[in-house]
A and B are shown apart, each in its own frame.
Chain A
Amino acid sequence: MDKSVRKISRREFLGVTKAVAIGGIVAAGIAGGVSGYLARTPEVKEVTKTVAAWPPVEGLRPIKVGYVYVGPVGDYGWSYGHDRGRRWADERFKNVESFYIESVPEPEVISAIESLVAKGCELIITTSFGFMDGTAEAAGKYPDKYFVHISGYRSGAAGNAPQNMSAAFAEFYQLYYLCGLAAGAITQTGVIGYVGAYPIPEVVRHINAYILGAQYAYKKRTGKNIKAHVTWLFSWVAPEDARLAASALIDDKNCDVLNYTEDTPAVLMVAEDYQKKGRKVWSFSHYSDMRAYGPTAHLTGPVANWGPIYLDFYRMVATNTWQSVDIWSRVGDYMPWRWRQPLEKSTAGKEEGTVYLAPISPVIPNEWVNLIKQRYEEMKEYLFEPFTVEGHDPDGKEPIRDQDGNVRIGPGERADRGTLWSMDWLVEYIEEPLPK
C-alpha cells in the first residue's frame, strides 16, 4: 500500500553538490560516482503514494500535501516529530500523496513552498516559527492553496494573515507541570534543574510550569520550598552542550531531577550515566518516548503527536470545508470526548490526543502517581490549570510570584492565553536571571 522511499536529503544534496561545484577540478575523481548518483535525485521527495484502490468517498477528493521542515528528519527532535505526525495522518487518511523538504533554512521557506506548489500540493504545512512570515506571504501569493503554520501567531482566524492560512501548536505547559509534580515527589536534594534552549516565552512558560509543579509536590511532601536552576544553550539541537550543561547542574548545584528543552535525549542519557555510577539523578522524555535512552533515570515526559492536527486539515481541504483556524492543542484536545476518567482508568502515560505523557515510571511513589493522574484527568475538563494559586501552593493560599517578588497570579486568577503566550518572567524559586 504505502510505499515509503527514502532518498538523499536536501542538505546532503547541497553539501555534496557544493563540493562538486567548488572542486570542479576536484570533481574528476569523486564526482563520477557521486554525481551520477545524485543526478537522479529530485530535491522534493515523494514519500507516500497511494497505489492500491481506496474506495473513493463521495465528495472526498485525493489531495497532495507538502511539508517544509526546518531540520533533518533523521534526528530525534522537532522535525522528526512532525514527520512522524505526517506518517500518522497519511496512514489514516490514505487518499493522500505527501511530500516533504527537510533542513530548509528559514529565509528560504518561500522557494521551498514554491517547489511544493509546483508538485501540485494544495495543502502546505510549514513547521518552524521562522517560517511564519514567509508562509503568510506565500498564502497571499497562492490564494487557491491552503497553508498551515506551526508554532506561530499569524492566521486568517487571528486576522493578521490571509484567510487561507491557519496556525496550530501542540502545547506542553500542562505536561511540564505534571513532570514537575514527579520531580517534586522524587527529589532528595530539593534542588531541580532545567536545560533551556532559548529564553523565549514558549520555553519560559514550560520552565515555570515545571517548577510550579515541583514546588507544589515538594512543599506538600516536606513543607520546604523547592530550589531550581536553569542554564541556557541558545540552540535547539546541541547534545554535546546539553550534556555539559546537565553535568554542570548536577555537579555544581546538586540538582537531582533535570528537565530540558533540547531535541535529543542527551540530558536523559547524562542522568542515566549518573544512575549507573550510583548517584540518583532523574530526567524525562521530550517530544517522543525516550525511555530506551535512560531506562532507569526516566520518570515520564511530554510527548506530542502532530498527526491528529494534520489529519484535521487534510479533511478540511478534501471536503472543501476550509476555515482559517488558530489551534492551540492541549491535554484533552483531539480526543473522542472530553471527560475525566477515574484514577484506575486514567490514561496518563498512554498515547492519546496530540499531547500526552510518556509512560510513568514505577519509581514515583504511588500517591504521587495518583496525583499526576488526577491532575491530568482534570485538565481534560479544564477543571485544573497549572498557573493558578491552587497549582502552586498545596494550601491554595500563596500567589505565584516572579523573581523580583511581584505577584503575577493571585488567588482566584488563572493565567490566560495571552499571559502564557508572552511570558517573560521566571518564578521565584529559580536562582538564575532570565537572559534579556
Chain B
Amino acid sequence: MSLEWVGSVLAGTTSVGVVYLLGSLGEIYAERSGILNLGLEGIMALGAATSFITTIAWGHAVAFFVAGVLGILMGLLLAFFTVSLRLNQIAVGLAITMLGSGLSGFIAFPTTRKTILRALNPELPSTALEAQSAPMLPSAPLPFLKDVPIAGPMLFNHNPVVYVSLILAPTMWFLLFRTSVGLKIRSVGENPGMADALGINVFRIRYLTCMLSGAFSAMAGAYLILGFQPFWIEGITGGRGFITLSLIILSAWSPLRAVFGSLLFGGIEVLQYRLQLFGFGAASPQFVLMLPYAIAVITLSLLSIESFRKRISAPAALAKPYYREE
C-alpha cells in the first residue's frame, strides 16, 4: 500500500462523500428543528434529473441554481403537509420520495428530455439532445496544495463544488451551535412549545429548515451527476438518500461530524472494489458490497429505540408535529 494508493483511495472517498455531505448538511438543520425529511432520496433524484437536463441546455452554474430552487419547492411541499397540515412526517416523506423518483424518471426519459431541451434551448445540436450523459464539472486543482501527499489528492484536487461543500460544513456547524439563529432552530426541535412561549416562530423556522433541506438534497443530486458520475439512469441515486439519513444519526446531528460520516460512507463505497482486488473477501464480495446498506439499516433501527435516542441526544421533538393549542 503505497502513499499513492492511499491518496487515490482518499481522492475517490472525497468525491463520493460529498454527495452524502451535501445531502446531510441541509437535513441536519431540518432534523434539528424537528422535521424528518424522508423525501431526501426523491428530492435528490429530482435534483439529479433537472440538473442533468439544465446543464446540457444552460451550463453548470444554472443547473445547480435550478436544482436548488426545485429543491426549495419540494421543501415547501414537505413543510406544507408536515408543518401546516401536521401530517405524519414519515408518510409524507415517503410520498415525496416516490413522487421525486417517479418524476425524475419521467422528465429525464429520452423523449420527454428532448422536448424539454428543445424548449429550453432551441439551438442545441442533436448530439446534445441525444446524449445520455451530462458534461462533468471541470476539475480545479489548487496550486501547490494539490501536491501535498495524501491531503493533496484527498482535498485539493477536485471540482469547485467539493471545496464549497467542505467549507460549508464548518460554517453551518458554527451557525447551528454558536449563533442565536442556530439556538432557535435547535430549541424548536427540542421543545417547540417552550420555544413558542419564548416568542420563536416555530412554523417559520420549520418552513425555512424544510426549504434548506430540500435545496441541499437537490444539490446533492446535482453533484452526483455533474461531479461524480455523469451518465444518467433511472434510479441514479441508488438509495444514497437513505444512506444520508442514516449517516446523520451516526454523526449525531452535527455538521462537522457529518464530514467524517460522509467520508466514512464514501470510503466504504470506494474500498468495496479496491478490497476485492486485494483479495479481501474476494471469494464472496457480495458481503463487502452490502456494507453501506447494512450500516444504514442498523443505524435507522437503532433510532427507533427510545433509550438510544436519548443517549445520542436526538432532537426530542424529531418527527413530531407541533400543535400550538395543546
Determine whether A269 belongs to the interface, using a CB cutoff of 8 Å to chain B: yes
Which residue of B16, B80, B273 contacts A29 across the interface (Cβ within 8 Å)?
Answer: B80
Given the known inter-chain contacts A72-B234, A435-B286, please indicate yes or no for A9 contacting B277, CB distance below 8 A: no
Cβ-defined contact, A432 with B108, below 8 A: no
- A18 and B87 contact, Cβ closer than 8 Å, known pairs A9-B105, A12-B105: no
* A15 contacts chain B at the CB level, 8 A cutoff: yes
Q: Please name all residues of chain B whose beta carbon is closer than 8 Å to the beta carbon of A29 when the two chains form the complex.
A: 77, 80
Which residues 219-268 of A have a CB within 8 angstroms of B? 229, 231-234, 237-241, 243-245, 247-249, 251-253, 264-266
CB atoms of A244 and B270 under 8 A apart: yes
Please tell me if B165 contacts chain A, counting CB pairs below 8 Å. no
Contacts of B91 in A (CB 8 A): 22-23, 26
Query: What is the bound-complex CA distance between A76 and B77, given in angstroms?
Result: 33
Residues of A within 8 A of B87 (CB): 23, 25-26
Tell me, in angstroms, the Cα distance from A334 to B295 when the chains sit together: 50
Question: For window 1-54 of chain A, which residues contact chain B by CB distance below 8 Å?
Answer: 6, 8-9, 11-16, 18-20, 22-23, 25-26, 29-30, 34
Nearest B residue to A252 via CB reads B277
Interface status of A381 (Cβ within 8 A of chain B): no
Interface SS majority for chain B:
helix
Please pick, from A26, A34, A247, A253, the residue contacting B12 in the complex, using a CB distance under 8 A: A247
Task: State whether A18 and B231 are in contact (beta carbons under 8 Å apart), knowing that A11-B105, A252-B5 are contacts in the complex.
Answer: no
A432 touches B95 (CB 8 A): no
B193 CB–A CB distance under 8 Å: no
B276–A18 contact, CB under 8 A? no
What's the minimum C-beta distance from A93 to chain B, rounded to whole angstroms?
23
Instruction: Give the residue of A76, A231, A253 whose beta carbon is less than 8 angstroms from that of B132.
Output: A76
Evaluate whether A74 and B110 lie within 8 angstroms (CB atoms) in the complex, with A234-B286, A251-B8, A253-B277 already known: yes
Does A141 sit at the interface, judged by CB under 8 A?
A: no
Contacting pair B276 A432 (CB below 8 A): yes
B 71-120 contacts with A by CB, 8 A: 77, 80-81, 85, 87, 91-92, 94-96, 98-99, 101-103, 105-106, 108-112
Is there a chain B Cβ closer than 8 Å to A293's Cβ?
yes
Identify A23's interface contact among B12, B95, B286, CB under 8 A: B95
Residue numbers in A under 8 Å from B106 (CB-CB): 8-9, 12
Cβ contact within 8 Å between B12 and A19: no
How far is B236's CA from A237's CA once the two chains are assembled, in angstroms? 10
* Proximity string of chain A (186-213) to chain B, C-beta cutoff 8 Å, 1 when within and 0 when not: 0000000000000000000000000000
Are the C-beta atoms of A74 and B105 separated by less than 8 Å?
yes
Which among A8, A74, A244 is the interface contact of B234 at CB below 8 angstroms? A74
Please tell me which one of the listed residues B5, B16, B105, B279 contacts residue A72 in the complex, with CB atoms under 8 A apart: B105
The range of chain B's interface size is 35 or more
- Across the two chains, which residue of chain B brings its CB closest to A253? B277
**Alpha-carbon separation in the docked complex, A432 to B277 (Å):** 7
- CA gap between A215 and B98 in the complex, in Å: 49
Mask: chain B, 280-312; 1 = CB below 8 Å from A; 0 = not:
001111100100000000000000000000000
Q: Within A151-181, which residues are at the interface with B (CB < 8 Å)?
A: none
Known contacts A75-B234, A251-B5; decide if A26 and B95 are in contact (CB<8 Å).
yes
Partner of B92, one of A23, A74, A233: A23
Please determine whether A252 and B282 come into contact, CB atoms closer than 8 angstroms: no
Residues of chain A lying within 8 A (CB to CB) of residue B269: 240-241, 244
B203 to chain A, nearest CB (A): 18
Using Cβ atoms and an 8 Å threshold, which residues of chain A touch B131? Answer: 292
Shortest CB–CB separation between residue A17 and chain B, in angstroms? 9
Are A292 and B77 in contact, with the CB atoms below 8 A?
no
Does A436 sit within 8 A of B, measured CB to CB? Answer: yes
B 16-56 to A, binary, CB cutoff 8 A, 1 in contact else 0: 10000000000000000000000000000000000000000
- How far is the CB of A147 from the nearest CB of chain B, in Å? 27
Contact with B along A43-80 (1 / 0, CB 8 A): 00000000000000000000000000000101110000
Q: B211-252 vs A: 1/0 string, CB under 8 Å?
A: 000000000000010001111011010100000000000000
Could you list some 8 contacts between A and B, CB below 8 A? A9-B109, A15-B99, A26-B92, A75-B233, A248-B277, A253-B277, A269-B133, A435-B282
Query: Could you list 7 further interchain pairs (A-B, Cβ under 8 angstroms) beyond the known A12-B109, A244-B269, A244-B273?
Result: A9-B106, A20-B95, A29-B80, A231-B277, A244-B16, A245-B273, A249-B277
